[in-house]
A = this chain, B = another copy of it.
């Protein structure tokens, strides 16, 4: 029996969409912590109690929120050195298995210091519903340009330029790909634009016994415009969850895990738009749903106050049999050259 100085944690990105806002559940750190940032709900994996990782996640989610969630999907396992600052002082290596958890909207938070937050307050460049976010032109583009220019050699410069183009490209024929959310966060981290990158730079230099270069005002104000930081690499995990969820929308009917049993097609569209971070064409969205056959009318209608009442629909679970690929197509705005 081998005992490794490794601690295994389970972290959950719990998602719900209410009022067209995609929310993630975070916990506030206890008052006696010296860190201030919020964190994803997590807990240690206990092999004695948890017969599987999934069940471990469900257990911890129940502790944090009181919820018995249905949809749980493993995201990624993180194990980089110095993810946890405690490691610098001889703490064990922290391995985190991150999970994506989807919850219908009518969620009530019970338990401790848990709060629902708009996930775009942590990834503001991902929300294009009101058009191209101003933060891209004002902070990200210039910041990334400096980063590209500061490359040591031509090869590195080319690689960086390519990555920037792929992630934030707005040239001819370039379409924004909502699924690249993780790549975008990692780019901003490497370029030293987000708050965690600055924090970790200091930690790393301290670990190497050097005097940390101070964080200057421009860096700090830039980072502030790029949203709030989270504990450890929780924001990276959040970005990974967003990317996975967006990708999955296109080929699996996962949206319905976030909706009540009965819904109007427009409600469904609003939820998808919130997740994808882009507006969709109403009529085409309806057409796609109908010809995929993944929803069926209940016969009832729902009045919203004004305008024609919308028909209520429900998810057809049997639909998965008909077509292997069922899902919500992501928008690919035709190049407007």
Contact A5 B47 (CB under 8 A): yes
Give the B-binding residues of A (Cβ under 8 A).
1-8, 44-48, 51-53, 56, 74, 76-81, 90-93, 95, 97, 162, 165-166, 169, 171, 173-177, 180, 317-318, 320-325
- B residues less than 8 Å from A95 (CB atoms): 8, 45, 53
- Contacting pair A44 B4 (CB below 8 A): yes
Main DSSP-derived SS at the A contact region: loop
Closest residue to A324 on the B side, CB-wise?
Answer: B177
| Beyond A47-B81, A53-B95, 18 extra complex contacts between A and B, CB < 8 Å | A4-B6, A4-B44, A4-B45, A4-B46, A5-B47, A47-B93, A51-B80, A52-B81, A53-B79, A74-B76, A74-B77, A162-B317, A166-B321, A169-B321, A173-B322, A174-B323, A175-B323, A176-B324
- A68 to B: closest C-beta gap in Å: 19
Known contacts A5-B3, A6-B47; is-contact A173 B74 (Cβ 8 Å): no
Bound Cα distance from A93 to B51, whole angstroms? 10
Residues of B within 8 A of A176 (CB): 324
Which B residues are CB-close (under 8 A) to A45?
Answer: 4, 6, 79, 95
25 A-B pairs within 8 Å (CB atoms) are namely A1-B5, A1-B7, A1-B90, A1-B91, A2-B44, A2-B92, A4-B44, A4-B46, A5-B48, A6-B6, A6-B47, A8-B8, A52-B80, A52-B81, A53-B77, A162-B318, A166-B321, A169-B321, A171-B321, A174-B322, A174-B323, A174-B324, A175-B323, A177-B324, A177-B325
Q: Are A324 and B90 within 8 A (Cβ)?
A: no
